[in-house]
Structures are given as C-alpha cells and as structure tokens.
Chains A and B, each alone.
Chain A
C-alpha cells in the first residue's frame, strides 16, 4: 500500500475517534440549559468527522492516482535510505532534547549545545570557529528576546536560583 493510503487510514482512524467523541461522549457533560440551543459544542465536530471520514475513505479505496514516482527535485520516500536520514533523525532527537532541557539547563547553555551539536551532526568539525559563533548567537538572541522584546527567558540553569 502506498504511503498516501496509509496516511489516509491513519486520518480515518483519527476522524472516527473524533467522531465517536463528538457523537457519544461529549454531549453527556452538556449543562441542561444549553440543550435548548440550536447548536451544541458537538454539532460542528459531528459534521467535520463525517466529511473527513468520507474523504479519507475515498483516498483509501479510490483508484490509484495517475502519477507515481516523485517529481523532479522532490524526495522519494521509498528510497529514504539514500538520503541523510540519520542526520535528520539526529536533529529531531536533538530538538526534543532541547525542548526538555530548555527550562532545567537554562537558555544559554542549551542553545549553545543545540547549535553546536546540530552543526556537528551535519559534519562540521571546526570547533574553534563553531563554539564562538554559537555562543555569540545564543547571547545576542537572548539579549534581543529578553531586553528588546521583553519576554523573560531564564538564561542560566535552574540551580543558579534565577530560573523560572
């Protein structure tokens, strides 16, 4: 089965779950006075879930769309191994790690680590250039966000006592 049909199947399951919630569980918590309204919180979702399920079924069961194979310049997902899939996954893991460490480790340390490791994953080895550039970038972004835009960003790790 082609990838677009697998995705249609997943979306079909999502819309069925969504529809189940809209049709069977949501209305139970509706206060009595709202039951007189012409529209309930579940009305619109009910319509959406049916339409989405129909569309997903059309893609899932419908005829194969004419063009197969990737267009020029696009990525062929059937040959993902030929691309830098390892680097892409590495960067995604790094992004998750950044999300988890941003609060505990503070903005400056986690950002410098993120930018440096990101470049290293992509194959950069000249740390003597990399570290000063990332440190400078992290510092200036922090200054811009904190001082110019006025959004609080805790710069240092949480155990320094200034973290938020």
Chain B
C-alpha cells in the first residue's frame, strides 16, 4: 500500500495533474453554483474534454475535481440564495440559508467548506483502507458472480429510489439495458436492433445519452420555469469568513460522526450523497441536546456541518464500488465509469494491480482536491458568487450549445445531435412523470458488461447451470430479488392498511 501511495503522490503531484485538480475544482464550483445545474450535467459536459486529454489518470482527476467543485458550488448557492442545485445539498440550505439571512453568510460558507474538507478527507482515508481489501475479495469473483453482483447493484439502485418509485426505477433500468443492446456489440459481431439506421450501428453514444438525460432536461426546466434560476435575496455581501473556537469545538464531533456514516452510506449502491446528507442531518438533530435541537433549521452550525460532511464523505464512498468492482452506485460514478471505458481503462479489481498509478493518483487527488477547495475556492467565493448574476438569456443558449458540442465532438456526426434532441425530449417527459433518470443511464452503462458476464457464465456452464454450481451467485441473485420485492411488499401492506383491509389477505 505504501508503495502505491508513493506512486499516487508522484503522479498526482505532476504539474499537469495539479493543474487538472485546480482547474477541475474551479470549473466545477463555477458551474455548480448556477442553480439548476447539478454535478451530473457538469461532468457530462466536461467528458469530451477529459477524453481528448487522453491520459486516463489526468482525465479522471479532472472529472473528480469537477465533481467536488460542483458539490461545493451547489452548497454555496444553497447557502447564499437558498437554491440548491442538487438534491444532495438541499439539507445544507436548512441551516445554511438562515445563517446567511442573519448576515453570517461568510461564517456559513466557512463551516460548509471545513465540513466538506473533513468529510472528503476522512472519506479518502477510509477509501484507501477499504478499497484494496474489497478488491482482494473481488479478485475471487468469476463472471457468474460479476453478473449476479451487477444485478444486485442495479436492484439496489431501484430499491433505494423511494416509495412508489421502485417499479419506475426498475423499468428505467431495464430501458437502459435495452438501449445498451442496440448496435454491434463485441460479443456477437452482428448488429442488433438498429432498425436499419446506419448511425445506430455503433449503438447509442454514451455522452449523447448522458447529455440527453441530465443536461438537456435541466436546461429545459430552467427555460420553462424562470423562477428556478432566480437570484433573489441580496445576501451577496460576504464578509468575515472566520469562525469562533466554540463553534469549532461544537462541530468537530459532528463532522467526525457524519464523515464515517456518510462514507458507509455512500458505499452502498443507490444510496449516495442525498440520503447521506438527509440522514446525517436527522441523526445529528436527534442526538443534540434539547436546547440545541431548537436551533436546527434556524441557523445552527451543527445542522450545517452534518449534511455537508456527510455528503462529501458519501461522494468519496461512492468511488469504492466503482474502483474495486467496476460497478457504479450513482449516476455520477456511472458517468465516470463511462468516461473510463472510453479511455480504455476497465475499472474493477484488476485496476489496482494492472494500473496502480491510476487508482492511487485518483485517491491522492481527492486530498488535493479537498485542499484546493478549502484554500483556493473559499477565499475566492465572494468573487465566484458574481457568476450568479449572469443573465439567463445568455446562460441558457450556452448550456444548450455545450450539450450539442459535447455530443458532436464525441461522435463527429450531425445525426447524433438529432438523436440528442429526441432523447432529451423523451427524458424531459419522463422527468415530468417522475421517472428517475439515473437508473436508465446506469443500466445503459452496465448493460454490455452485464451481458458479457452473463454470456461468459452461460458458455462456461453450457446453460443456466452456474446458478446451482456457484452458491455465491445464487445467493446474490436472491438478495437482488429481495431488494426489489421487499419495498413493494411493504408499500402494498401500508396501502392495504390505509384502506382498512387486514394484512392477512
């Protein structure tokens, strides 16, 4: 491990990679601050740039930096104008915005930045401990287990989608898997489901799909509803970034607890930063002494520190399944996985052995990224906050233009742009009807891997025999079925109880 850290250090501290972290964090903060643009849109817009860089470590470091920066920017806009750009920073606005209203915006930003820094750093330490251990276990897995593990991951994502949403999330996952079968896969050397359209020969483009699922609907939402990008509330005067010793003492244990809890939640597929931040907030409110409990929601520093450290630790945690198993647990890590595949890197347990420099450079760059956010972005915030004043008449055409460019650069094909617009309209309709879109993208990205492993297991055992020969596979598949069925069963029971029917039927 020590050797790995040294490799990572030397790689992460090369001039290019340092520039990547700093640039990524700045770009991420900049765009992430714009209300309505979440990390997923920003990362999908940045992917074409990352891919053309060519060097996988540098590209991944850039994207990870953008990711952190975007989360930090999201927290900033939650605190300053009560407009969380992402679900995972909604809990930040509970106490952050009241603080800003009291004229303590600077203090709130500092607390948020310190909590994020600690959450991210503690997360990175845990990642360093957990990931190699998990990778060693994962090396024992065969294609049958991989297939089963991916099914578990996909079911978990659907299962965590929320009440009444499980079937919808499942359907979206399946739709993603179906879209992944379009085109000529490496597996069979024959085009499938192209409907005679030449441009579908190579399948749907992953960047196109990512743009169509996230960036385009978000831009359309901004157009449809101008109040989403409204920047009211004149709390733009940010002064006095310092916090007192007492406040530091109050938030230290909160940060410690929530970093660990957030990390563990982040490791679970499908749970991620949003759940971690809400849970962190709720837990801290419940265990706080009575008189402090009343402060929550009115500008408590503890209530601000909890979701901030939890969501950053969870973001780091979500890298664990990505780097060790090659299975993304969230929309963002799915996009990162897609970028890695485009760069000819296959994440998974072999990554640590075959290309340790990538693995360790990413981890080290997480520390660097967190440090950059703390020492560079925080003092710059008063200036970066000016971006909130960019008129939307200029902003929206540029967002649309960058989504178009991203799809065009990826495929160098104008038909791709028509596919982008078509899929983007579909995605907006799906969003209207409350269908979650991240499962679709995750299904799409995992689709070919899932089928590959399924096919390999089928060929090895000449049929479905691997289900019985490998108890581990069977156990994982049963777990996947339970994950999906349990929430629907409980929802059904709750519904029956509501209409007054007994549980017995």
Q: Could you tell me which A residues sit within 8 Å of B by CB distance? A: 2-4, 6-8, 11, 14-15, 18, 21, 26, 29, 34, 37-39, 41, 43-45, 48-49, 51-52, 55-56, 58-59, 62-63, 65-67, 73, 75, 77, 80, 83-85, 87-88, 91-92, 95-96, 98-100, 102-103, 111, 114-115, 118-119, 122-124, 130, 133, 137, 141, 145, 149-152
Contact = CB atoms under 8 A, between A and B. Distances in A.
Contacts of B434: 4
A55 to B, nearest CB: 4
A41 B192 contact: yes
B414 A102 contact: yes
A38 B193 contact: no
13 contacts: A4-B168, A7-B435, A43-B455, A44-B451, A45-B181, A48-B181, A56-B171, A84-B225, A87-B224, A91-B223, A111-B401, A115-B401, A122-B393
Contacts of A96: 418, 421
A15 B167 CA distance: 15
A11 B397 contact: no
Given A49-B178, A58-B167, A96-B418, 11 more contacts: A18-B193, A39-B459, A44-B454, A63-B495, A66-B495, A91-B223, A95-B417, A99-B421, A118-B397, A119-B394, A145-B409
Nearest to A151: B409
Interface of B: 49, 52, 163-164, 167-168, 170-171, 174-175, 177-178, 181, 187-188, 190, 192-193, 220-221, 223-226, 228, 391-394, 396-398, 400-401, 404-405, 408-409, 412, 414-415, 417-418, 420-421, 425, 429-430, 432-435, 451, 454-455, 458-459, 461-463, 495
Contacts of B417: 95, 98-99, 102
The 7 closest A-B pairs by CB, nearest first: A118-B397, A99-B417, A65-B164, A77-B432, A4-B433, A124-B393, A55-B171
A38 B144 CA distance: 14
Contacts of A14: 175, 178
A115 B220 CA distance: 15
Contact of B52 (A29, A66, A115, A149): A149
Contacts of B430: 7
Contact of B164 (A55, A56, A67, A114): A67
Nearest to A78: B432
Given A41-B192, A52-B171, A83 B224 contact: yes
Contact of B175 (A45, A52, A145): A52
A92 B216 CA distance: 10
Contacts of A34: 188
Contacts of B429: 3, 7
B interface secondary structure, majority: helix
Contacts of A150: 52
A161 to B, nearest CB: 19
Contacts of A83: 224-225
B220 A88 contact: yes
A125 to B, nearest CB: 9
Given A3-B433, A38-B459, A137-B398, A102 B168 contact: no
B224 A84 contact: yes
A90 B235 CA distance: 35
Contacts of B400: 91, 95, 118
Given A66-B164, A75-B221, A114-B401, A124 B52 contact: no
A48 to B, nearest CB: 5
Contacts of B170: 55
Nearest to A111: B401
Given A48-B181, A67-B164, A77-B432, A88 B224 contact: yes
A75 B225 contact: yes
Contacts of A52: 171, 174-175, 178
A41 B190 contact: yes
A164 to B, nearest CB: 9
Contacts of B401: 111, 114-115, 118
A17 B323 CA distance: 37
Nearest to B177: A48
Contacts of A11: 171, 175
A101 B401 CA distance: 14
